[in-house]
Structure 1
Amino acid sequence: MELSLDEVESPIGVLLLAVGGGALHGLDFADCAPRFRRSLEARYGVVALRAAVDPCGFSGRLRAYLDGDNGALAAIPVEPGGTAFQRRVWAEVRRISPGMTSTYGDIAASLGQPSASRAVGLANGRNPVCLVIPCHRVVGAGGELTGYSAGIERKRWLLAHEAGAPARRSALAARREGEPRP
């Protein structure tokens, strides 16, 4: 399989996007590149990644999200693969609005499987398209930040960003425009 690969700079690390057939197949942080590659190969076997600029406009949408447009990622089509259960979990996670959180237990209950919170956690942890399937919006039963494979600090930043941390957004926008940081 051949996919287009782009990189997007963010305040919390460079992001890698793999796009093909009009859908997002992978999105992860560059420092997690081996996991990103393994995920693609587990789903597709041999994968050729060819550098591209803003494939399908998805990199631009990701930049808009990082600049503060919380709705910019909503319309991006995804092809995450996964089991039927994982796909149900990811669809439910995608329904969590920006700036909001849900618990593993709440998601399990919404799927009609209230005792499956651990399975929901495992599925959430295997999400191959972070941010677009916003696994960072899922928290522990008491609201604690748990289980973000790219690091709790990134999860904390993403939640604060979505809640409206304007200084972070303006610093990124200024850097893109070549201005000094505030």
Structure 2
Amino acid sequence: MLTLLEDKIATPLGPLWILCDEQFRLRAVEWDEHSDRMEQLLGVHYRVQGYQRVSSANPGGLSRKLCDYFEGDLSVIETLPTATSGTDFQREVWKTLRTIPCGQVMHYGQLAEQLGRAGAARAVGAANGSNPISIVVPCHRVIGRNGTMTGYAGGVTRKEWLLRHEGYLLL
């Protein structure tokens, strides 16, 4: 059974759940109001092995580092370790999301092309939407082909805020 250490921090965008394993690798980061989505994803990813959640203050320093991100240390999220379950394709998409530089965006088609799967924008979008590690695996950096703020589980307002925070100027 997997033990997940959990903490909740205050952010400018509302409370944020942080869950990591005992090796302090992030397994889930999700907005409090979407904790049902987080529970659903955890159930999908860890139903075979099972998991338990244990309250922990600032596990592995991850809570403090995410607070640092919100306070302006944007590069800190690039240093945070993650571990995800999911399909090989999902993990490939999530790994590629982490290569999008802070302050830049990519559209779903570009992400599919970068993965060597031109024409798979919808599949990439679905994998993007199943990302359990919000912010650190920066799914908010993926936008619609025409520049629209499409598909962010935390809401478009949060997506826009995160992109502005990272220096991407919205038109």
Give 5+ residue unaligned stretches, structure 1. Answer: 166-182
CA distance in 1, matches of 2:44, 2:114: 29
Query: Deviations for 1:112-165, whole angstroms, at most 9, x for unmatched residues?
Result: 111000101000000000000000000000111100111000000100111189
**2:6 — aligned with what?**
5
Q: Which stretches in structure 2 are left out of the alignment for 5+ residues?
A: none
Cross-structure match for 2:71 = 67
Report which stretch shifted further, 25-34 or 36-45.
Answer: 36-45
**What amino acid maps onto 1:32 in structure 2?**
H
CA–CA distance in structure 2, aligned partners of residues 71 and 107 of structure 1: 21
C-alpha displacement at 1:22, in angstroms?
A: 2.4
Cα shift readout 1:31-84 (whole Å, capped 9, x = no counterpart)? 011111121122222432111111011111101100011101111111121111
Contact 1:136 1:159 in 2 (8 A): yes
Q: Deviations over 1:95-119 (max 9, x none)?
A: 0111110010001001111100010
Match among 140, 143, 160 for residue 147 of structure 2: 143
Runs of 4+ in 1 over 3 A off after TM superposition: none
- Using the aligned pairs only, state the percent identity: 37
Whether the 8 Å CA contact 2:6–2:18 is kept in 1: the answer is yes
* 1:31 paired residue among 15, 30, 33: 33
1:98 aligns with 2:102: yes
TM-score by length of 1: 0.87
C-alpha contact 1:68 1:164 (8 A) present in aligned 2:
no
Counterparts of 2:143 and 2:152, CA distance in 1: 9
Q: Does 1:132 find its partner at 2:136?
A: yes
Query: TM-score by structure 2 length?
Result: 0.93
| SS of equivalent to 2:75 | coil
Counterpart CA distance in 1 for 2:36 and 2:148 is 28
Aligned CA-pair RMSD? 1.3
Amino acid at match of 2:12: P
CA distance in 2, matches of 1:51, 1:22: 13
Q: Secondary structure at the match of 1:5?
A: strand
> 1:170: which partner in 2?
none
Q: 1:43 maps to which residue? A: 45
